[in-house]
Amino acid sequence: EAMCSGKLQTGLLVAGYFVYLLVGAAVFQALERTAEKQEKMAAAQMKEAFLQTFTQLTVAEMEQFMKNLTEAIQNGVYPVGNESQLEESNWDFSNSFFFAGTVVSTIGYGTLHPKTAGGQIFCVFFALFGIPLNIVFLHRVGKMLSLLCKKLGKFLYEKGMRKKKIKFLTLLFFLATGILVFLCLPSVFFQITEGWSYSEGIYFAFITLSTIGFGDYVIGRQSDRKYFSYYRVLVAIWILFGLAWIALLFNL
Q: What local confidence, expressed as pLDDT, does residue 1 receive?
A: 66
The answer on pLDDT for 218 being more than 70 is yes
CA proximity to 142, closest of 236, 19, 14, 1: 14
pLDDT tens-digit map of 40-75: 888 888 888 887 887 788 888 888 888 888 887 777
Give 13's contacts (C-beta < 8 A, 6+ positions apart).
136, 137, 140
Mean pLDDT over 76-105 rounds to 79
Q: What local confidence, expressed as pLDDT, does residue 28 receive?
A: 96
Give 242's contacts (C-beta < 8 A, 6+ positions apart).
182, 205, 208, 209
The answer on pLDDT for 157 being more than 90 is no
Torsion-angle region of 108 (φ positive above 0: left; ψ -120 to 50: alpha; else: beta): left
- Name the band, by pLDDT with cuts 50, 70 and 90, for residue 203: very high
Compute the distance between CA of residue 198 and CA of residue 176 in angstroms, rounded to an integer: 18
Compute the distance between CA of residue 106 and CA of residue 213 in angstroms, rounded to an integer: 9
Q: What percent of the chain has pLDDT over 90?
A: 42
Q: What percent of the chain has pLDDT over 70?
A: 95
The answer on pLDDT for 81 being more than 70 is no
Instruction: Spell out the domain ranges in the chain.
Output: 24-80, 87-251
Q: What is the CA radius of gyration of the chain?
A: 23
Compute the distance between CA of residue 96 and CA of residue 218 in angstroms, rounded to an integer: 14
Round to the nearest angstrom and report the end-to-end CA distance of the chain: 27
Q: Does domain 87-251 have CATH number 1.10.287.70?
A: yes
pLDDT tens-digit map of 2-11: 667 777 888 8
Residue pair 40/86 in contact by the 8 Å Cβ criterion: yes
Furthest-apart CA atoms within the chain: distance in Å: 85
The answer on pLDDT for 114 being more than 70 is yes
